[in-house]
Structure 1
Amino acid sequence: MTYILGGWQTDFATNWAREGKDMADVFAETLQAGLAATQIDASEIEVGHVGNFVAELFAGQGLLGGFFGQVDPALDGLPTARHEAACASGSVAIMAAMADLESGRYDLACVIGLEQMRNVPGLTAAQHLGAAAWTGHEFGDATYVWPRAFSDLTQEYDRRYGIDPRHLGRIAEINFANGRRNPNAQTRGWRFTPESFTPDDEANPVVEGRIRKTDCGQVTDGASVIFLASPRRAAAHAERRGIAMDRLSRISGWGHRSAPISYARKISDSDGAAYVFPQVKRAAEEARARAGVPVEAIDAFEVHDCFTTTEYMAIDHLGLTAPGEAWKAIESGAIEIGGAHPVNPSGGLIGGGHPVGATGIRMALDGHKQVTGIAGDYQVEGARTVQTLNIGGSTTTTVSLIVTRE
């Protein structure tokens, strides 16, 4: 059993380069703010894990675990590691920290994720992010690799089940609206017209194939941190702060699966199967099985909506609808705040922002906020159990967590 003692995230609307900040500056800011928010002293951290995808390409910086010792003299000597799994890097870092705690090796872990992506032109950023595709083998003719990949997924859903672009537009509209509730969301000040969510070439131009502007998650600078504890350390933390253990959140289940890196191989392997991405389905189901909860018991979901098609896929793979019938949850309002199965109350990646290495950690932090009732204007009333679904590449790596409260 792993407890979440709390955490912190940066304002995802901030452009670090314009503020004269580099990755070390934001790492220090995030860690210090997280320690203050949780009332933990740096000397109490026993191990540090970092989630990051491509700092070498965007910032020329590797060895990110070395930033811990820069922040506070008490962290000089801290054992650290960095983890990369494309957009699932943050969740893989959490998984490594959980293993440390569950093994008994350590009792208190700090997990921090960060990515700087707005310091280069948009096309350069797209090329850097393409490192998570099968380089030299797939999408070589695409200007923007990931919009092309998920345009192909839209086409695949259309081939297998049929898909209505209006449902994808509604996903975008919901997530941008949720983002306006979130004080850390990148797009909270953005404004749209009704045409922004339609196939209008002026209001919503094509990026690649069947992917339009508002279908896309945002290129973002951002960092997030959470502090994870063993039951023994969580009990000590609760006693020191004078709170009951049942006010703490915990990670009660996890699923972690990887598929071949080739998008075409995944599509070919699942041809004729019920689900397009069986390993995504498997990871989500295994997380709930380990937690001992059915999908009906999940109060909210934080899912990987790098594109609207990704969330459309996530809805049926989570089991909220039958395969190919995500449109039913969209039309009924089930995925909206106040609906039966709220999805991305934070705004997700489309509304909230997608600093790649930080995303999985931000999802877990938002799960913690929801189940402890501190999510503010995007709080799902009565939430006690949240499921995350974090995806790297073309579903090459999938991690799902169940965050709950007694």
Structure 2
Amino acid sequence: MNNAYILGGAQTDFERNWTKEGKNVVGILKEALTDGLNDAGISYEDIISLNKDNRVACYVGNFIAEQYISQGHLGAFITEVSPAFYGVPCARYEAACASSSVALDAAITKIQNGDYDVAVVIGWELMKTVDSKVGGDILGRAAYYEKEGKGIDFPFPKLFGKLADETIKKYNLNEKRYMSALAQISNINYANAKRNSMAQTRKWFMSYEQANMRGTATNMLVGGRLATSDCSQVTDGAAVVILCSKKFIEERKIENAPVVKGYGHRVAPMRFDKKMEESKDNKYILPWTRQAVLDAYRRSGLSIDDIDVFETHDCFTSSEYAAISAFGITGPGEEWNAVEDGTIAFDGTKPINPSGGLIGCGHPVGASGARMFLDIYKQVAGKAGKYQVKNGEVNNALMLNIGGSATTNYVFIVGKE
């Protein structure tokens, strides 16, 4: 099977509110695609030329534009960006917050199979078109809406608040220590975001003390034990990744392009209570997430010892906490160790979310998988700028993207060839 290489990509500034700017979906797609292609050294003329020989395809990740902007048929909508996409095979992929990971999976597979030589992947979501309550209801459709979302204000903070409850219960944790670890996770992600010029919260204030003051006027509880500081952001944004084949690498005489080394994809029961019921006898609270990581390690021939940096789906601090053991950084129930001793900090031995993650960088749900993939590519390529870890000496990086209440689980490993 052929390798899939990463040429480059781009993300929009996640601080922006595209509706307030008076710009629609065409604007965000055109800006992201143009920047992503430029970064990869590919022009719209190249797209036209490649398409004549059926060598290029486009993959769109988006969760629920039908609700946010009343628009479907999002694969074909790429033709509104440029006539260069006329005739290019393109389709939309959806798996809630893992939507653009599904798009990446499809693109990588087509490259590996030799079907295309260039794949353009774009994930995007425009979320600031509605108020927060309506937005929370829309996002409830990533769960079992009739049973877990309908008529419930902000259902996902409540679901991941339950994950916090279940984590404490399963491992008989000291509640104060666990909640302190969640506050530190929040603090790390906000601090990392200040290094990232595209992060939504780069100008915001957060400290460990603030994050640990839950239930106050400046850090209100939103879902069980979880407060505002524990939550990812409502974000407008897009991220583009350009993949290619070995043949294209050789044609363009491109050197040192990072390569996709492995992936994992597992789906858990849809309902959160079913997840907890099914996992009660497993040492991992989210065994399907752990299995997706193990699948990626197996396919890549790597292990936790080989991974230098991680990007994970911190939709809430409780999800990042569970990811620490899923990666193998600690055993299950011991995640607090890696938080307290600095292992996952920016300068730690296993840094998580140097970009700021979903809490710090932002979470346009359909774009998050592509954004995380772009960031692990940047770390391996030494192109992460001020949030580059380990002085650019990154050989392998791993990302975890989840959809729903850790229902869809996607893992990708990118590294030097």
TM-score, shorter chain, exceeding 0.5: yes
Q: Per the alignment, do residues 203 and 194 of structure 1 end up closer, same or farther by CA in structure 2, a change over 3 Å counting?
A: farther
| Match of residue 153, structure 1, among 163, 169, 176 | 163
Farther-moved stretch of structure 1 (69-78 vs 119-128): 69-78
One of 72, 77, 80 as aligned partner of 2:82: 72
3-state SS of the aligned residue for 1:335?
Answer: coil
Q: 1:259 aligns with which of 255, 265, 268?
A: 268
Deviation of the 1:156 alpha carbon: 0.2
Distance in 1 (alpha carbons) for counterparts of 2:110 and 2:96: 22
- 1:196·1:204 contact (CA, 8 Å) conserved in 2? yes
The C-alpha deviation readout for 1:146-169, integer Å capped at 9, x for no partner, is 000000000000111114211100
Distance of 2:209 and 2:348 partners within structure 1: 25
In structure 1, the partner of 2:325 is 316
**Quick check: 2:97–2:403 contact (8 Å CA) kept in 1?**
yes
Report the counterpart of residue 182 of structure 1 in structure 2.
196
TM superposition shift of 1:326: 0.6
Partner SS for 2:291: helix
1:186-215 deviation digits (Å, cap 9, x = unpaired): 000001355421134123110121110000
**Matches for 1:367-382 after TM superposition, within 5 Å:** 367-381=376-390, 382=393
| CA positional deviation for 1:284 | 0.6
- Compute the displacement of 1:44 (Å): 3.6
Candidates 371, 392, 395, aligned match of 2:406:
395
Structure 2 counterpart of 1:105, one-letter code: D
Distance in 1 (alpha carbons) for counterparts of 2:384 and 2:284? 33
Deviation at 1:23? 1.0
- State the partner residue of 1:366: 375
Counterpart for residue 110 of structure 1: 120
User: Which residues of structure 1 form unaligned runs of 5+?
Assistant: none
Q: Could you tell me which residue of structure 2 aligns to residue 275 of structure 1?
A: 284
Where does residue 222 of structure 1 map in the other structure?
237
8 Å CA contact 1:255–1:285 kept in 2: the answer is yes
In the TM superposition, residue 14 of structure 1 has moved relative to its aligned partner by: 0.3
What amino acid is aligned across from residue 365 of structure 1 in structure 2? Answer: L
2:200 and 2:298 map into 1 onto residues whose CA distance is 34
Name 1:192's counterpart in structure 2. Answer: 206
1:352 maps to 361
| Equivalent AA in structure 2 for residue 299 of structure 1 | D
The CA deviation string for residues 91-115 of structure 1, in whole angstroms up to 9 with x for no partner, is 1100011121122211111000100
Question: What letter matches 2:244 in structure 1?
Answer: A
Q: Which residue of 1 aligns with 2:73?
A: 63
Tell me whether 250-259 or 60-69 shows the greater mean CA deviation.
60-69
Report the alpha carbon displacement of residue 141 of structure 1 after superposing the two structures with TM: 6.0
- SS of the aligned residue for 2:195 comes to coil
Q: Is the 8 A contact 1:219 1:355 kept in 2?
A: yes
Q: How does 1:201-216 map to 2 (within 5 A)?
A: 201-216=216-231
Report the secondary structure of 2:145's partner residue. Answer: coil
**Is 2:136–2:155's contact at 8 Å kept on the other side of the alignment?**
yes
CA RMSD of aligned residues (A): 1.2
Is the CA contact 2:137–2:150 (under 8 Å) kept in the aligned structure 1?
A: no
SS in 2 for 1:137: helix
Partners of 1:147 and 1:307 within 8 A in 2:
yes
Q: Do 1:139 and 1:149's aligned partners in 2 also have CA atoms closer than 8 Å?
A: no
Amino acid aligned to 1:353? G
Query: How far has the Cα of 1:310 moved from its partner?
Result: 0.3
After TM superposition, the structure 1 stretch with the greater mean CA deviation from structure 2, 215-224 or 36-45, is 36-45
- Secondary structure (helix, strand or coil) at the match of 1:86 reads coil
Change in CA separation of 1:372 and 1:194 when aligned onto 2, cut-off 3 Å: closer
The whole-number CA distance in structure 2 between the counterparts of 1:76 and 1:92 is: 23
SS at match of 2:240: strand
In the alignment, does 2:4 pair up with 1:2? yes
Shift of 1:70: 2.1
What is the rounded CA distance, in whole Å, between the counterparts of 1:139 and 1:226 in structure 2? Answer: 32
Q: Any conservation in 2 of the 1:44–1:108 contact (CA below 8 Å)?
A: no
CA distance in 1, matches of 2:141, 2:416: 37
Using the TM superposition, give the Cα deviation of residue 178 of structure 1 relative to its aligned residue in structure 2, in angstroms: 0.2
Q: State the shift of 1:263 in Å.
A: 1.0
Instruction: Give the equivalent residue in structure 1 for 2:335.
Output: 326
Q: Is the 8 A contact 2:15 2:201 kept in 1?
A: yes
Q: What whole-Å deviation, never above 9, does each CA across 1:37-73 have from its counterpart, x for those lacking one?
A: 2210224441000000010000001111123222222
Q: Aligned partner of 1:56: which letter?
A: E
Judged with a 3 Å threshold, the aligned counterparts in structure 2 of structure 1 residues 20 and 352 are, in CA distance, closer, same or farther, namely same
For residue 290 of structure 1, what is the aligned residue in structure 2?
299
- TM-score, normalised by the number of residues in structure 2: 0.94
* 1:139 to partner: Cα distance: 5.0
Q: Does the 8 A contact of 1:179 with 1:352 survive in 2? A: yes
Is the CA contact 2:183–2:208 (under 8 Å) kept in the aligned structure 1? Answer: no
Instruction: Tell me the distance in 2 between the aligned counterparts of 1:194 and 1:388.
Output: 25
Q: Distance in 1 between matches of 2:336 and 2:23?
A: 43
Question: How many residue pairs are counted as aligned between the two chains?
Answer: 400
TM-score (norm 1): 0.96
Identity within the alignment, %: 44
